[in-house]
Amino acid sequence: MRWAARRARLAFWIILFLFISILWLRSHSRRDEITFRQNGRTYAFASSGGRLLVDNRPEIERFGIAQRKDLEKLIGEPIPEGGFFIPLQLQPQWTAISNRPAPRYVWRTLLPYWIPWVLCMLPIALSMRRFLGREWRLYRGRCPHCGYDTAANTSGVCPECGASLDAAAAQNRRIRSAPRNV
């Protein structure tokens, strides 16, 4: 039961690590956001540029769309991509529309993605170190519990901590401690 619980925890951390890695990579190529209103302003909780942030980009986009619609009404036709020419008789109305104060861009970084990425990597690295350390001790002919050198031991019991050594590990130790023909 103890090993099953450890495996379940390790699986949880690996899945969470992969999920955060995917979100981090995705945040560099696209912006995902959830909008909300507060004090009459529109804000977005967004994942963008490798971080989670709160900003007012939706409000700025809405302002730009409204300004574009006002300009299209003034000209009487859709604004073409790449620029357009405003006739001289429409210059005063153009200045009134274009001089409207735009909302100031406000943002706050809540959390860079590298912080949860590292925090999820720590339990994975520690459990892998524990597992690989045990395997490395077996490979080197040492006791998997205390690390005592059991290369010449044939009793199957570690003289340092009293842990029993399995037969496969004992065979592995005998093979590794045998003299080599060089």
Does pLDDT of 33 surpass 60?
A: yes
Inter-residue contact 162 to 145 (CB < 8 Å) = no
CA–CA distance, 170 with 141 (Å, rounded to integer): 8
pLDDT for residue 107 is more than 70 = yes
Q: What is the pLDDT of residue 98?
A: 72
pLDDT of residue 91: 74
Q: What is the pLDDT of residues 129-142, one digit of tens each?
A: 776 766 666 666 77
The string of pLDDT tens digits covering residues 9-24 is 889 999 999 999 999 9
Q: How far, in Å, CA of 48 to CA of 26, rounded?
A: 8
pLDDT recorded at residue 112: 93
Secondary structure of the chain as H, E, C letters: CHHHHHHHHHHHHHHHHHHHHHHHHHHCCCCEEEEEEECCEEEEEEEECCEEEEECHHHHHHHHHHHHHHHHHHHCCCCCCCCCCCCHHHHHHHHHHHCCCCCCCCEEEEEECHHHHHHHHHHHHHHHHHHHHHHHHHHCCECCCCCCECCCCCCCECCCCCCECCHHHHHHHHHHHCCCCC
Stretch 119-133: mean pLDDT, rounded? 82
Lowest model confidence (mean pLDDT) among 49-58, 91-100, 115-124, 164-173? 164-173
pLDDT score for 105: 84
pLDDT at 65: 85
For the full predicted model, state whether its pTM sits above 0.75.
no
pLDDT of residue 138: 63
The fraction of the chain above a pLDDT of 70, given in percent, is 81
Q: Using 50, 70 and 90 to split pLDDT, how confident is the model at 148?
A: confident
Query: What is residue 147's predicted lDDT score, i.e. its pLDDT?
Result: 73
Give dist(CA 117, CA 145) in Å, integer.
31
Q: In whole angstroms, what is the distance from residue 40 CA to residue 60 CA?
A: 14
